[in-house]
Amino acid sequence: MADLLSSTFAALADPTRRAILARLTHGPATINELAEPFEMTLPSVSRHVKVLEEAGLVSKSREAQFRSCRLETLPLEAADGWLAEYRQFFSERIDRLEAQLKVMMQARTNDSKDGDQ
Amino acid sequence: MPRTYELERGFTLTRLLNAPVEVVWQAWTEPKYLDWFFNPGTVPVWPTSVELRVGGAWRQHMVENATTEYMTGGVYREIVPNRKLVFAWGARGGWPDLDEGNGPEVTVDLTPMGEKTKMDLMLRLPDQLSAAEAQAWMDKGIEPGMTMTIDRLVARFAD
């Protein structure tokens, strides 16, 4: 688990690889298609795709002569689920902050009423 | 090595709060208003303390139940009154334990929206943590988080 997350985060740390993943959210693409938006040689795009493949974020289909790459979402979901507990902790704290602010605003209104009298 | 926070190891919570920005700031920085950070229905033994300067600590005593209690709060890293509060979340010898190295950093950004306030709360883990270390930090979150959930559910159905 830790190893998978480690490679997921390492793969996501690079902006080119994040852009490749963003492109793949629209559907599978070949290396040629992935290389189009970048001023980069095909081999260097291939290297980035290989890192994503090793992290389990991308898989290649073997059908046809040109292999297309597709996005695998499972590792991303694992990385996200990892933070879920902390997110919940703070989300609940903010609910209580809202209740606290309501009390403070009520006290303000009362103070200004008192001031008017 | 300085801490960096470039990896997407964190989350952002955005909420539109029904109070002007200076009231939200008070709720975050004045001990008498900080009770909302406690678990509901608990009685702290030690009073909450706030030393509002960079490097200063906000310390708050949390009581979970008869056997579980801990200090929490934070150590301030950046303070822009009514706009921004950045702190290392936790307490020395508390939860999360700041003695255990670089843990989660929380940034609270406040944007005035007339009589309301947009609050963005960001939590990030430093990039220097290995996945295993980050996982260890994450694991510390589970128990208090779950307790909170159950308490909140009970409170909601009691209404």
In terms of Cα–Cα distance, which of B111, B88, B95, B117 is closest to B23? B117
Per DSSP, the three-state class of A114 is helix
Q: What is the pLDDT of residue A17?
A: 84
**Strands B49-50 and B57-63, sheet pairing:** antiparallel
pLDDT at B148: 43
d(CA B29, CA B114): 21
Distance CA B23, CA A104 (A): 7
CB-based contacts of B117, cutoff 8 Å, min separation 6: B16, B17, B19, B20, B21, B23, B24, B110, B111
Q: Which residue has the higher pLDDT, A112 or A41?
A: A41
Contact across the interface for A12 and B10, Cβ inside 8 Å = no
Q: How many Å apart are CA B32 and CA B44, to the nearest integer?
A: 13
CB pair distance less than 8 Å for B145 and A2? no
What is the per-residue pLDDT for B91?
81
Global pTM reads 0.62
Are B87 and B58 a contacting pair, CB within 8 Å? Answer: yes
In chain B, where are the structural domains located?
10-158
Q: Does A114 touch chain B (CB under 8 A)?
A: no
List CB contacts (< 8 A) between B149 and chain A: 88, 92
Question: How is chain A split into domains, by residue range?
Answer: 2-78, 84-116
Q: Is B86 exposed, middle or buried (0-12, 13-18, 19+ CB in 10 A)?
A: middle
Collect all residues with Cβ–Cβ distance below 8 Å to B153 and sequence separation of at least 6.
Answer: none
Distance between B35 CA and the closest CA of chain A, angstroms: 8
CATH ID of A2-78, from 3.40.50.11540, 3.30.565.10, 1.10.10.10, 1.10.3720.10: 1.10.10.10
Nearest to A96 among B17, B36, B123 (CB): B36
CB contact under 8 A, A92 and B11: no
SS3 A43: helix
Q: Is A90 on the interface with B (CB under 8 A)?
A: yes
- Best mutation target among B7, B12, B137 (most A Cβ atoms within 10 Å) is B7
* pLDDT computed for residue B63 by the predictor: 78
Instruction: State which fold the B10-158 domain adopts.
Output: Alpha-D-Glucose-1,6-Bisphosphate; Chain A, domain 4 (3.30.530)
How many CB atoms neighbour CB B5 within 10 A? 17
Instruction: Tell me whether residues A9 and B142 touch, CB distance under 8 A.
Output: no
Amino acid identity of A61?
A: S
On whether any CB of chain B is under 8 Å from the CB of A112, the answer is no
Task: Answer whether B123 sits within 8 Å of A92, measured CB to CB.
Answer: no
Q: What H or E segment, with its residue span, contains residue B8?
A: none
Adjacent-strand bridge partners of B69:
B63
Measured distance CA(B158)–CA(A62) in Å, rounded: 58
- B 45-104 → A contacts, CB under 8 A: 104
For chain A, the average pLDDT equals 78
Chain A and chain B share a number of CB contacts under 8 A equal to 100
Nearest to B148 among A79, A89, A105 (CB): A89
Q: Which of A10-19, A69-78, B6-15 bottoms out in mean pLDDT, i.e. has the lowest? A: A69-78
Contact assignment for B18 to A93 by CB distance below 8 Å = no
Question: ipTM surpassing 0.90, yes or no?
Answer: no
Q: Does A99 touch chain B (CB under 8 A)?
A: yes
**More confident site: B149 or A25:** A25
Note down pLDDT in tens along chain B; length 159 residues.
566 665 567 778 888 999 999 999 999 999 999 988 876 666 777 889 999 999 999 998 887 777 777 788 899 999 999 999 999 988 877 777 776 667 788 999 999 999 999 999 988 877 777 666 666 665 554 444 433 433 443 343 333
Of the two residues A98 and B104, the one the predictor is more confident about is A98
- A31 vs B39, higher pLDDT: A31
Is residue B144 within 8 Å of residue B39, measured between CB atoms? yes
From chain B, pick out residues whose CB is under 8 angstroms from the CB of A79.
Answer: 8-9
Instruction: Give the model's pLDDT for residue B159.
Output: 34
